[in-house]
């Protein structure tokens, strides 16, 4: 795998209609600087808004993946993204003067050819690989979808589909080497659908640019001549439709015996580009689809953001520790005698954090609370939970070091057992909800597996240099 980032050498342009919207669009790939990532730019809209290709910006997964920021959207991005990651391009600008990229023949091949003609440029910054070091699992019981990422010092993807439909049956495929296999074995695989779906998709307005030249239509039931004519009319297809001997509408030849599952792998590659970083992992997927792919990409992206965050503050990797006291002091503004958390041992971004406070007789508050019978003040246990929660919302604020987190409400506070010198407090915080600068959290403090205190609290975020109103 490549070790340095890559972009293209010169702009390259293509035009055509979109698969689902049927609208005309001109798309231009342009070089981008290091660490820029992949971004779509709607040049036909005021201000030319940018839409970073990340899972955070997915707004729809109806038969394709749609990205959006505000009113700006780009439909069916997965085939373009598959070409970009398949060619191991890290930084690129994709300008469009419409809402959907040209569909071409329904595969990624036209994008690959265009990008190759633009030539590749090796940049000086190293690739920011996300290295999967433990299994990440997505499971949808209802749809029987499973996607798993396993540790591997490379990037491999295996896909199995089984639609329980005799017209297609079970198929599987695997990509083991991007350099050797992507362009020839997977980029040409075209999108497909079943004949029984075509009329419903047309009625939903989802394939306005679809025809038998940019999609493989698998015949899963025997249609009448009048039904075929109705479909031809709805899709605006000029040539007469017929049921092919090979089970494909109009007897169109498959490019590969298992072209449908190869296209599913292509879709998965494109959707996983939304993680925002190249992967080193083995991906195993059973019956994937855009909705599941995007949910899995979001799951992996959280892991990527967390690893970046940890690397930013925790300079020395320690077993069983996410942030040590040195990292905590880089994050929180609190100092002696009011820093109430010693280390963070669990962090799930935007979900959960666990901090640890070792309570010793050297705590200054024990001198007066209480002489002869030292007990940690309940309000300081709450403060310890609050400081721990500051770590949890760290990723929600891009300029966290310029912010302060203030209490707004404390509800349902209960103190169940005294905390004394020698105790080790485990501070567990869960994020209940968040808005732009308001966070609702639920916390509990535990000693020896027993809850000693708990509370619900609301926190607000303000600029560190903002004046305090009386």
**What's the token pair of residue 200?**
């419903």
357 touches 340 (CB < 8 A): yes
Q: Of residues 20, 79, 290, 334, which has the active-site annotation? A: 290
CATH class of the domain whose range is 136-311: alpha beta
The residue-averaged pLDDT of 70-98 equals 98
Element containing residue 121 per DSSP (H, E): strand 120-126
pLDDT at 320: 94
Residue 172 known to be catalytic: no
pLDDT of residue 193 exceeding 90, the answer is no
Domain 4-126 and domain 314-463 have a common topology: no
Highest-pLDDT range among 218-222, 241-245, 332-336: 332-336
**What's the token pair of residue 124?**
């000086």
| CATH among 3.30.230.20, 3.40.50.11540, 3.40.50.1220, 3.40.50.150 for 4-126 | 3.30.230.20
pLDDT in tens, 432-444: 999 888 999 999 9
* The domain over range 314-463 is classified in CATH as 3.10.129.10: yes
Average pLDDT, the chain: 93
Domain boundaries, the chain: 4-126, 136-311, 314-463
**What's the token pair of residue 87?**
């060619």
The residue-averaged pLDDT of 156-160 equals 98
pLDDT at 410: 94
The residue-averaged pLDDT of 11-30 equals 95
Global pTM value: 0.87
Residue 37: pLDDT band with limits 50, 70, 90? very high
pLDDT at 470: 56
115 touches 12 (CB < 8 A): yes
pLDDT at 407: 85
Of residues 130 and 63, more confidence is placed in 130
Looking only at Cα atoms, what is the longest distance across the chain? 96
The DSSP result for 330-381, as a single string, is: HH----TTS----EEEEEETTTEEEEEEE--TT-GGGGTS-TTS----HHHH
pLDDT of residue 132 exceeding 90, the answer is yes
pLDDT at 469: 67
Residue 290 known to be catalytic: yes
Edge-first strand listing for the sheet containing 12-17: 12-17, 24-31, 92-96, 38-42, 50-52
d(CA 409, CA 33): 45
d(CA 41, CA 111): 17
pLDDT in tens, 380-438: 999 999 999 989 887 777 677 778 888 899 999 999 999 999 999 999 999 999 988 89
pLDDT of residue 300 exceeding 60, the answer is yes
d(CA 470, CA 468): 6
């Amino acid at each position: 795998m490549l070790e340095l980032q890559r972009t293209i050498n010169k702009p390259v342009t293509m035009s055509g209609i979109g698969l689902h919207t049927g609208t005309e669009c001109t798309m231009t790939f342009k070089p981008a600087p290091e660490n820029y990532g992949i971004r779509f730019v709607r040049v036909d809209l005021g201000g030319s808004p940018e839409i970073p290709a990340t899972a955070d910006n997915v707004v729809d997964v109806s038969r394709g993946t749609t990205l959006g920021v505000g009113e700006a959207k780009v439909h069916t991005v997965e085939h373009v993204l598959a070409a970009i990651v398949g060619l191991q391009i890290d930084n690129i600008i994709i300008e469009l003067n419409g809402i959907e990229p040209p569909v071409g023949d329904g595969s990624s091949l036209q994008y690959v050819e265009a990008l190759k003609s633009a030539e590749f440029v090796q940049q000086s910054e190293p690739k920011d690989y996300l290295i999967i070091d433990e299994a990440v699992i997505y499971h949808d019981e209802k749809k029987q979808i499973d996607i798993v990422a396993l540790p591997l010092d490379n990037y491999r993807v295996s896909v199995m589909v089984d639609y329980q439909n005799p017209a297609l049956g079970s198929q599987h495929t695997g990509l083991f080497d991007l350099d050797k296999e992507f362009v020839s074995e997977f980029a040409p695989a075209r999108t497909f659908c079943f004949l029984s779906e075509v009329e419903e998709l047309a009625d939903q307005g989802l394939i306005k640019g679809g025809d038998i030249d940019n999609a493989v239509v698998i015949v899963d039931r025997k249609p009448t001549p009048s039904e075929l004519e109705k479909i031809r009319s709805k899709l605006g297809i000029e040539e007469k439709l017929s049921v092919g001997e090979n089970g494909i509408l109009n007897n169109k030849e498959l490019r590969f015996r298992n072209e449908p599952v190869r296209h599913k792998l292509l879709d998965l590659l494109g959707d996983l580009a939304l993680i925002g970083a190249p992967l080193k992992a083995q991906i195993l997927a059973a019956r994937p689809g855009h909705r599941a792919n995007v949910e899995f990409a979001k799951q992996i992206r959280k892991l990527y953001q967390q690893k970046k965050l940890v690397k930013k503050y925790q300079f020395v990797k320690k077993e069983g520790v996410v942030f040590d006291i040195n990292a905590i002091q880089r994050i929180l503004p609190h100092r002696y005698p009011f820093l109430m958390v010693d280390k963070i041992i669990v962090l799930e971004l935007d979900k959960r954090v666990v901090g640890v406070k070792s309570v010793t007789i050297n705590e200054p508050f024990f001198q007066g609370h209480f002489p002869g019978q030292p007990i940690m003040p309940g309000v300081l246990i709450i403060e310890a939970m609050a400081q721990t929660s500051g770590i949890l919302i760290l990723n929600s604020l891009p300029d966290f070091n310029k912010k302060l987190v203030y209490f707004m409400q404390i509800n349902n506070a209960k103190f169940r057992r005294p905390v004394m010198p020698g105790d080790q407090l485990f501070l567990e915080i869960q994020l209940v909800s968040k808005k732009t600068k308001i966070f609702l959290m639920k916390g509990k403090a535990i000693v020896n597996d027993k809850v000693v205190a708990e509370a619900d609290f609301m926190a607000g975020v303000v600029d560190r240099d903002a004046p305090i109103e009386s």
